[in-house]
Amino acid sequence: MATDPARACAALGPLLLDDRRARIDAAAASRLGGLRVVIENLHDPHNGAAVLRSAEAFGVQRVDVIDGSKPFRFSSTVTQGCEKWLDVVRHRTLAAAMATLRADGFLVYAAVPDATAVLDDLDFARPAAVMVGNEHEGLSAQAIAAADVRFGIPMYGMTRSLNLSVAAALTIERAAALRRRALGAAGDLDAVAVLALRARFYAASVRGADAVLARSAGGVGREDDGDGG
């Protein structure tokens, strides 16, 4: 957003219902930038959407997508608009994704069935990315080899596998909890980044936000997009 975030919040905040504004402020303050979700070569748009929705629900701000033979797609009926709260970054190759993660200082953890380690064994005090593969084959051999550690989801019943969307949700929830526990805080963004997110989220929630900001006026009355996401 080109507009100064503080000015944007001052202009748009009064147009939001109090509960909506409080919800946005809490979500921005709880965002995790030091935890990323990496998706490799997903085929089913419903599963892709479910992963995005889980990432947003548990406060992960960025999802990195490695496109395979077909571009990553997601079902808008499943996401229910959650993608507007996320940073979804696409990579054409595994090598490009890994180069970005390494340059940003991230450890990479690969979800692999029957791996010895579990998420609780891993280091989330440092920036970390959890990587999940597609519905049929999981992660590629190259992705597994490029990761720092392999992890699995412990299962104690006769069932030995989970639907991808379920496995991803469990992984994201636990990784986010471990990141927050390691930091002793709900979120890991600095004050400048939190303010920028608040401004972005306000703009996504107010109809005609661009016009409001262009006028640099608070407007009359209150508006809300009505989206529960």
What class has domain 32-183?
Answer: alpha beta
Distance, first Cα to last Cα, the chain: 21
Beta 107-111 vs 87-91: how paired, if at all?
unpaired
Q: Does 92 have pLDDT greater than 80?
A: yes
pTM value is 0.88
The residues, any chain, with a CB within 8 Å of residue 126's CB and separated by 6 or more, are 34, 105, 107
Residue 18 half-sphere exposure toward CB, CA atoms < 13 A: 0
Angstrom distance (rounded) from CA 147 to CA 134: 16
**In this structure, what token pair is assigned to residue 81?**
């608009």
Q: How many residues does the chain have?
A: 229
Per-residue pLDDT tens over the stretch 158-217: 988 888 899 999 999 999 999 999 999 999 999 999 999 999 999 999 999 999 998 865
More confident residue, 228 or 111: 111
Per-residue pLDDT tens over the stretch 118-170: 999 999 999 999 999 887 788 999 999 999 999 999 999 998 888 889 999 99
Q: What is the DSSP string of the chain?
A: --S-HHHHHHHHGGGS-HHHHHHHHHHHHT-EEEEEEEEES---HHHHHHHHHHHHHTTEEEEEEE--SS-----HHHHTTGGGGSEEEEESSHHHHHHHHHHTT-EEEEE-TT-S--GGGS--SS-EEEEE-BTTTBS-HHHHHHSSEEE-----SS-----HHHHHHHHHHHHHHHHHHHHTSS----HHHHHHHHHHHHHHHSTTHHHHHHHT---SS--------
Per-residue pLDDT tens over the stretch 35-81: 999 999 877 777 888 899 999 999 999 999 998 666 666 656 545 57
**Does residue 183 contact residue 176 with C-beta atoms inside 8 Å?**
no
pLDDT of residue 87: 95
Rg for the chain, CA atoms, rounded = 19
Percent above pLDDT 90 for the chain: 73
Q: Does 219 have pLDDT greater than 70?
A: no
Where along the chain do its domains lie? Answer: 32-183
Which amino acid is residue 154, in one-letter code?
P
